[in-house]
Amino acid sequence: MARTVGLFLGAETANWSLAQFTDAARLARSLGCTELAVKCADGSIVWYASQGGLSAVRAACLTGGLDMIPYLYSYGDKFGALSQEIAVCKELMQLRPDHAAMVDMEVEWDGHGDWAKVWKDAIEPVPNSILYLTTWANPAAQNWLDVIAAIRDCVNVWVPQEYDTSLVSDESQYPSGLHMQPALNLPESWPGPNDPVAAAKTAVGRGHDGVWLWEYGLAVSNENIVRQIAAVLGSSGAVASGNSGSEGTNAVITIDRDAQGNVIGAHDGTKHVGEGFANLILNKWESASIALPETYLPGGNASIAALGGTEIQTLVWSTTDGAHAYGGNPLRNAVMSLVTAWNTAQASAKSAQDANASLAAARNNLDAQLAATQQQIATLQQQLTTAQSAATPPADPNATAALKIIQALKALESQIA
């Protein structure tokens, strides 16, 4: 049976964009986590109005491949707002189809069995609700036994904060018979010596069906620890509720990334594939098992003949719709189709590049011709101006004829005289 590997997203998310929630869910899932616990309210103040509200945040997480359980930090009646906090909890329970929500009760609740009874009386009648409660790992030392007794009937899952090795051993302070999924602290020096992988093994040994990890920032810097914990729990990378598909029965598929966060491969503990199938697993499928190593085909230069008659890859996908296996000739045919499509795309791109180059050359040629023509016009205009300024106006032929007539008349006049 698949167990829960939940990851807390705390106060750092208050001003996150929706894309950051998607990226966080995608990374958490690649590490083997099955659920997110996202802080959605502080006391009676609900967050994320500027991001579009709680539903938008949940949708962003689902886009990344994991669902979220919304949680609020409760101050009890410290500020006289216990009833408002209860109303917020009921609001959070409306976010998911299973009406699951989480409340974080800590120091403000110490010794307040009276507040706990008020909470229980208000939440217990909520139909079909699922309440997770995270609090101290050492309740006897924190004066919490009366609180547990008062509230236990409305709590479905207890999440004791077993944040170091000593606190793991304090779980016996809880009454027996509680459904428990302890919260583990990813490696850091506070509060004391800590081995979260060993704590996860202890949780499984105690019969617990899940653990929760504090928190996202530490997970980013301790990815291998998260993977180890997921392997201990036997997590199958559960599919987010709200996506198509559901949990598969295969081993956890872990996405490998480089220091910059780029996908470089995937493995399930024994089998490995490279970047191509890793991205396919990450982006397209809900769960998967890997049968053989991946064979890399270098784009359009792949030699189909070199594949011969061998099995180059078998990949088995397990979903609620059935199993899909690829191998042998069907796979080679699929690869050939892909490479043909690649070559066609490359040829089309080359033709487009050549056409663009021809258009650019033609335009450059026209630009040169236009410039030469403009220069010729300028030269002709200059020549015309020079010629017009130097030319002598031609004689009027009518004036010349008149002059000749006058001269003839004068000669005739002289003869008569």
Looking up tokens 């793991």 gives 168
What is 182-242 written as a DSSP string? -EEEPS-SSSS---HHHHHHHHHHTT--EEEEE-HHHHHH-HHHHHHHHHHHT---PPPBT
Amino acid at 199: A
The CB-side HSE value for 323 (13 A sphere, CA atoms) comes to 12
Least confident segment among 7-11, 167-171, 239-243: 239-243
Using one digit for the tens of pLDDT, what is the confidence trace for 70-96? 999 999 999 999 999 999 999 999 999
pLDDT band at 352 (very low <50, low <70, confident <90, very high): confident
Is 5's pLDDT higher than 70? yes
Residues of the chain with pLDDT > 70, as a percent, come to: 66
pLDDT at 229: 93
> How far is 43 from 89, CA to CA, in rounded Å?
10
Q: How would DSSP label each residue in 6-28?
A: EEEE-GGGTT--HHHHHHHHHHH
Residue 253 has pLDDT above 90, yes or no: no
**Mean residue pLDDT across the chain:** 78
**pLDDT, tens digit (0-9, with 9 covering 90-100), for 307-326:** 443 333 344 433 333 333 33
| Joined tokens for residue 122 | 């208000």
Q: 45-54, 132-141, 183-192, 357-366: which has the minimum mean pLDDT? A: 357-366
- According to DSSP, residue 250 is labeled S
* Domains and their CATH numbers in the chain: 4-249 (3.20.20.80)
What pLDDT is stored for residue 135 in this prediction?
98
Going 258 to 23 to 235 to 288, the CA torsion angle's sign is negative
pLDDT on residue 238: 34
User: Is the distance from CB of 151 to CB of 133 less than 8 angstroms?
Assistant: yes
pLDDT score recorded for residue 260:
59
Place of tokens 């009386």: 121
Q: So what's the pLDDT on residue 67?
A: 93
Confidence band, pLDDT 50/70/90 cuts, at residue 165? very high
d(CA 106, CA 135): 5
Could you read off the pLDDT of 335-350 as tens digits, one per residue? 555 556 666 776 777 7
Section 116-130 average pLDDT: 94
Residue 56 tokens, joined: 């938008």
pTM: 0.60
Question: Which of 90-99, 206-215, 219-228, 250-259 is predicted with the least confidence, judged by mean pLDDT?
Answer: 250-259
d(CA 266, CA 281): 8
From 163, 159, 219, 168, select the one nearest 191 (Cα to Cα).
163
Burial 275-298, CB ≥16 within 10 A → b, else e = bbbbebbbeebbbbbbeeebbebe
Residue 300: per-residue pLDDT: 33
CA angle 141, 44, 68 (to 5 degrees): 80
Distance CA 68, CA 38 (A): 6
CA angle, corner 405, sides to 404 and 407, nearest 5? Answer: 65
Is the model's pLDDT at 206 over the cut of 70? yes
